[in-house]
Structure 1
Amino acid sequence: MTGLISKAIEVGVRQRYPRLFSPVTLGAMRLENRIVVPAIQAGFARNHDLGERFIERYAQLARGGAGMIVLEATTVHPASGPHPTMPIAYRSSDRAAFAHLAEIVEGAGCRLVAQLHHTGSSRVAADGAVERIAPSPVPDFYSGEVPRAMTPVEIDETVSAFVSAAAVFASAGFSGVEVHAAHGHLLSRFLSPHWNERTDSYGGSLHNRTRIVREIVAGVRAACGADFVVGLRITGDEGIPDGIGPAQAAAVLTDICSATPVDYVSLTQGTVAPNFGDHIPDMHYPPTPFLPLTSDLRARIGAAVPVIAVGRIRTADDAERALSEGCCDLVAMGRALIADPDLPRKARSGGEVRRCLYCNLCWGRVQAGQAGECVVNPGWGRPSPLRVTRRRRITVVGGGVAGLEAAAGIAERGHEVTLLHGPRLGGKIAAESTLPGRAELGLLVNELHRRAIAAGVGFRELPRPADADAVLAEAPDAVILATGARMPRPTLFADAESVSDVGIRELVDGIQQPRDSPLPTGDRRGVLVVVDDYHDTAVYALTELLAPDHARTVLLCTRPEIGAFVPWVGRLGIQRRLSAAGVDCVTSVVPVAWEPGALRYRSADGTLTTQPHVDRIIWATTRTPDLEIADRLTRAGVPYHVVGDASGPKTLVDAIEHARTLVADFH
């Protein structure tokens, strides 16, 4: 009977995903399906060492059923200035670890390919730690650094470094390598006429600009043999003046392959420029936003080179559609597979898949030199905590995401858990999910709720915030306080009677469904002022929502730039959307006085400015923890732990990670 059920499921999978789970050949390498884990930095290495968590991350992905994994960007030469959290290929002491990794991944039936990488001068901020080199001394958009033009000797050394790194991975048992020539890193700057101003044999004509890549590919073929796969990651559209566009990308690839064919091309987009967010599109982008670009390149180059599509391919359905419509030959599902490494296996069996939010908080942490924790999969790369031997009665106070994560995790370990919560599960994140472009945050609340129910958590909804009496009535052995944090009303408005002011949290809590269109021009109100001392996404999404209802909207930010707590890739999108909504952003200012209809603020140089005709003020202040019931618990002798914002304001990913750490240490 079991065999018949399994066969029926397999037939159903083939009918629903006939292309996705069909085999494909790249060079001499056969893949069992067309799902690719692209190279995504996780920040798990320590001093470049591949530790247990680094290895376990890839083991989980291989067990989950992907057809091919591309190892995260691995530096080929010290001149790249790799961060200590990145793997490197030029240190002999790492070769045994690479061989161990290959044995695990390839042994699970998944092919393993290493991405070879050299940063060059690409940076979002100047660090001065390493002299930056590039094909030409063209200043970076963000860091402002002017790199030194590479000498012919340095170019030869770089080619040799790529080839030597490929040989390391071939000897370690990898199936191939992927040459990284995208995203504004070193090799992409040779390919792009925007960055390459050389007049020697590595610059000028398209054929000269591709020379360094052709030399690398030819060198890898000679060193590693014809059966060793060589892939290429290039940018399909840099989106900058005189840069690589779709037609140029096809010409670049054709020129490279005419002399030194590659086994596949992974097509990405964007560079380190004002369109930085394009190379890792967040939840504000539509699903699969770059499939037209991929389809265009595939049509231009024909079927000679298999093409991997990438960019917010969220589900197996998205992937199957991309393949069946002929946009690509394989699909890269990076962040979706971080959220749930078992996505391929679950797509086959009909299991419940954890959905990525595309919040890019994982990327933000890696960019800051931290481990790239995942909001919906905080345990990725770690073994699951063991179940406890002594079951206890635990009460969790607060139904925000930290409270839900703690409740689900503690119950999964075997404790009896009751969650006391208000009318809306998910707290501020559930509220924020009602704002423009933030709907996918609701997936997190749904996933945490699902986990908690499956683990046996008891839910008790209260009409008002839980007090100490309600908690003690549960007779808990221990309490988890996930009571969040509050935004205090600014003292400037404490005694004001003639201002319609409201805190962002109270206002967002009252929004059930965003409006589809703005008010007619004649119905719009006066000036809306948003006072931003919070600097996170909800402030800007709410401003974007309300701006069309007002004749003018002014965002007053107390910091030198808006979005200080938002990762770079998301910050740029915020600025574009606020600009499109007509919001006037004023930075480095502090409100100092209010009189009916007018708000006065001071700039960094001491200048006072008065904004007249103010109809409404929304304020977002620094949060303060809500721990009113802690003293009663202490007096009652009930042990408690504080988690999430209640222990101090946190980002979403930090709040989830804080709860996960509590769960791991909870006995």
Structure 2
Amino acid sequence: MSCTFPHLFSSLGIRGHEFRNRILSTGHQTYLAQRNLPGDDLIAYHEARARGGVGLIISEAARFHVSTVSEAPDLALLSDDAIPHYARLATAVHRHGAKLFGQLSHSGRVTRRMMNGMRGVVFAPSSTPENRFHVVPREMPTEMVAEIIASAAQGARRYAEAGYDGVELMASHGLLFAQFLNPAVNRREDIFGGSAENRLRPLRESLIGVRRAVGDGMVVGLRVSADEADEGGLDRETVLGICCQLSEEGLVDYINTTLGTMASLGGSIHVVPPMEIPPAYVAARAATIRAAVSVPVFVAGRINQPQIAEGVLAAGEADMCGMTRALIVDPEMPRKAREGHSDEIRACIGCNQACIGHFHAGNSISCIQNPSTGRELSLPEAAPVAQRSLKVLVAGGGPAGMKAAVTAAEMGHKVILSEASQRLGGQALLAQLLPDRFEFGGLVTNLTTELALRQVEVRLNSRVTRVLVETIAPDSVIVATGSTPVGSEVEGLEGAHVVEAVDVLAGKAQPGTRVVVADWRCDWIGIGLAVQLARKGHQVRLVVNGICAGQNLQQYVRDHWAGKLHEAGIEVIPYARLFGVDGDTAYFLHGASGQPIVVEGVDTVVVASGNVPDTTLERELGEVDVPFVTIGDCTIARSAEEAIYDGVATTRAFLAQVAADVGLSEGPSIMLHQ
């Protein structure tokens, strides 16, 4: 047991199953399924976390009835043919001492149910409109509800025969069973609607059927939103009563609590709460349920550090902590915490970009800080050790350069990281200055720790030039010099107060009282600056060259901040491209119609423009006989995710090529672009 985290690393017993610690990877969509079944990629993903020491893995929701299957790469558990595929996953997880539960889920009305590019038939308890996907579902016939209850039992049996330790029914986040429980959604008049008893019937009978199907040796649990946090959603009193009844009847062995609903824009932020949400904020709700029931209670919601989980457990608020994203960014987090190496843990920063962000973009899961996540087979976290050690010079200490230096050192090379400024971190240092975004700076903290662990030589206030390269005489150069604002080509620029957003963030420019933020980027910069300036007392209008503010952000985060903009009284003007400025007036063109949009009463226009690669060093190295590669923004400006991916994947490929070529022939320099 860890002395530092005694509660976190104490064992927990449920129905004869012993969990080695209280760390839980909750069920979450990965889009790693192959033909709706666990394949090599999904197995490798979960095995990495089991190897890292997690106590319990709950694999993502499997569709157990044909009425909820779509073209998405979700898991399905519709026939006995699936059992061997799930058995492979169970074997891989058990090999490393972790326990494995499987989820059973039906989306009900919370889906467009896309099939062959078209919307399919969506079934729900009643034809109650849904406010996120804009679906009016078809009411399930009574016979279909009975069929779903029977199918849940069969799905659980398949999990049991595959060797799983438990099964979890989902009545969380506004999904089907939650829809039956909610009188605002369930307007049926048969035995599955009307009274509270009838509304509970589908979930209750499903739990009874599941227990009969799996016998006494398997854990049966329930995931539930302690509060759907939405008008018309299930409230905490209703949920508490349901949990108490199911516990008293012995129908559940544990209750896994979360918050929110997928059925609304406002409630969705709680599905995967970002860095703007306080850590462990659901724990108090879980504690209320735990005090009222006789079974263990799990909790999830921004528990991203072992010390946070330890506090929740020590306070008696829950019996197990969901730390899913903490395990996405660092599968070895449990082992590091248990062995007293917490300072080596790569902490989740709650950015949501490559976990739930990839899912909403239709891509498989990853992590901006750990590109190996979701790519365990194609890009394993352990770097291949080079047969020959090279002297590697990395030019630029932003996220791309820092990760490249770490990667090169992991491969066994001698690395010098040279940064022109007095601090490492690049544009991440500016990103953390935006409102409620301070945690983004954790990315720099994590990379700085990795540099120290790999004993990389870091030189600050040291700009890499052709002369410096010739002096150091490295075997290869990795160019990570970043990017700069592309500049604003607008009429009247000389006679108006127009400043770049990065200069405002850095404190190099001071806007006037009446500010227009001209947001070409449609990402964090425009929204963040608008809110920041409003909080400082400026009168702010946000004019966006896109369909909405935050168009390029993960949708839960975008919708959350749309609400923040509204609360702050910030007018948002979409579809507008900056054309010119004249005195106290800014002129925009409508992005679709081309018609003018005139914004008057302006003291300062803050331009959130795009960035252009800094190619200065690249051009100089073209005249030097040294292999080099460009990574990150100096190839093309993107985000921290692509920069860090380049720092791993491009660096590995480039240095492997250089090591293979050194001494073999005299030839021109190698220059690669990824």
Q: TM above 0.5, one fold? A: yes
1:345 match: secondary structure: helix
The match for 2:633 is 645
Mapped to 2, the partners of 1:483 and 1:83 lie a distance apart of: 42
The match for 1:288 is 280
The match for 1:627 is 615
Q: Which amino acid aligns with 2:86?
A: F
Q: Which amino acid aligns with 1:388?
A: A
- Quote how far apart the aligned CAs of 1:70 are: 0.7
The match for 2:436 is 437
Query: Cα 1:663–1:190, aligned 2, differ >3 Å: closer, same or farther?
Result: farther
2:160 equivalent to 1:163: no
Mapped to 2, the partners of 1:638 and 1:344 lie a distance apart of: 42
Moved more, 226-235 or 373-382: 373-382
Structure 2: any 5+ residue segments left out of the alignment?
A: 657-674
Query: Cα 1:467–1:580, aligned 2, differ >3 Å: closer, same or farther?
Result: farther
Q: Which amino acid aligns with 1:629?
A: L
1:25 match: secondary structure: strand
2:552 equivalent to 1:552: no
2:121 equivalent to 1:138: no
Q: Does the 8 A contact of 1:218 with 1:260 survive in 2?
A: no
The match for 1:7 is none
Query: Cα 1:84–1:620, aligned 2, differ >3 Å: closer, same or farther?
Result: same
Mapped to 2, the partners of 1:577 and 1:124 lie a distance apart of: 27
- Quote how far apart the aligned CAs of 1:622 are: 2.4
Q: Does the 8 A contact of 1:45 with 1:84 survive in 2?
A: no
Mapped to 2, the partners of 1:123 and 1:418 lie a distance apart of: 51
Mapped to 1, the partners of 2:650 and 2:339 lie a distance apart of: 32
Q: Which amino acid aligns with 1:498?
A: G
State the Cα deviation string for residues 396-442 of structure 1 (Å, max 9, x = none): 22211111111211221112222221223111112211222111111
Query: Cα 1:394–1:17, aligned 2, differ >3 Å: closer, same or farther?
Result: closer
Mapped to 2, the partners of 1:665 and 1:110 lie a distance apart of: 34
Select which of 391, 394, 399 maps to 2:389: 391
1:275 match: secondary structure: helix
Mapped to 2, the partners of 1:77 and 1:640 lie a distance apart of: 54
- Quote how far apart the aligned CAs of 1:590 are: 1.9
- Quote how far apart the aligned CAs of 1:553 are: 0.3
Mapped to 2, the partners of 1:663 and 1:318 lie a distance apart of: 35
- Quote how far apart the aligned CAs of 1:279 are: 2.1
Query: Cα 1:659–1:52, aligned 2, differ >3 Å: closer, same or farther?
Result: farther
Q: Does the 8 A contact of 1:214 with 1:259 survive in 2?
A: no
Q: Does the 8 A contact of 1:76 with 1:90 survive in 2?
A: yes
The match for 2:499 is 502
Moved more, 172-181 or 321-330: 321-330
Mapped to 2, the partners of 1:262 and 1:25 lie a distance apart of: 14
Superposed, 1:328-367 pairs within 5 Å as: 328-351=318-341, 352-361=344-353, 362-367=355-360
- Quote how far apart the aligned CAs of 1:260 are: 5.4
Q: Does the 8 A contact of 1:79 with 1:130 survive in 2?
A: no
Q: Does the 8 A contact of 2:254 with 2:298 survive in 1?
A: yes
1:391 match: secondary structure: coil
Q: Which amino acid aligns with 1:377?
A: N
2:269 match: secondary structure: helix
The match for 1:56 is 44
Select which of 213, 220, 240 maps to 1:250: 240
The match for 1:457 is 456
Query: Cα 1:140–1:647, aligned 2, differ >3 Å: closer, same or farther?
Result: farther
Query: Cα 1:625–1:264, aligned 2, differ >3 Å: closer, same or farther?
Result: same
Mapped to 1, the partners of 2:287 and 2:232 lie a distance apart of: 22
1:327 match: secondary structure: coil
Query: Cα 1:525–1:484, aligned 2, differ >3 Å: closer, same or farther?
Result: closer
The match for 2:662 is none
Query: Cα 1:125–1:114, aligned 2, differ >3 Å: closer, same or farther?
Result: closer
Q: Does the 8 A contact of 1:38 with 1:70 survive in 2?
A: yes
The match for 1:610 is 598
Mapped to 2, the partners of 1:97 and 1:285 lie a distance apart of: 37
Mapped to 1, the partners of 2:636 and 2:480 lie a distance apart of: 11
TM-score, length-normalised on structure 2? 0.90
Query: Cα 1:343–1:643, aligned 2, differ >3 Å: closer, same or farther?
Result: same
Select which of 557, 573, 576 maps to 1:586: 573
The match for 1:238 is 228
Mapped to 2, the partners of 1:140 and 1:622 lie a distance apart of: 37
- Quote how far apart the aligned CAs of 1:81 are: 2.7
2:97 equivalent to 1:109: yes
1:635 match: secondary structure: coil
Mapped to 1, the partners of 2:256 and 2:507 lie a distance apart of: 45
Structure 1: any 5+ residue segments left out of the alignment?
A: 1-9, 513-518
State the Cα deviation string for residues 378-397 of structure 1 (Å, max 9, x = none): 22352323201022222222
Percent identity between the two aligned chains: 31
Moved more, 279-288 or 641-650: 641-650
Q: Which amino acid aligns with 1:297?
A: I
Select which of 351, 372, 384 maps to 1:379: 372
Query: Cα 1:659–1:131, aligned 2, differ >3 Å: closer, same or farther?
Result: farther
Q: Does the 8 A contact of 1:177 with 1:231 survive in 2?
A: yes
Superposed, 1:427-576 pairs within 5 Å as: 427-462=426-461, 466-492=464-490, 496-510=493-507, 525-576=512-563
TM-score, length-normalised on structure 1? 0.91
- Quote how far apart the aligned CAs of 1:292 are: 1.9
Moved more, 437-446 or 545-554: 545-554
Moved more, 338-347 or 241-250: 338-347
1:211 match: secondary structure: helix
Mapped to 2, the partners of 1:29 and 1:200 lie a distance apart of: 39
Q: Does the 8 A contact of 2:520 with 2:577 survive in 1?
A: no
Mapped to 2, the partners of 1:591 and 1:402 lie a distance apart of: 31
Q: What CA RMSD, in Å, does the superposition of the two structures yield over aligned residues?
A: 2.4
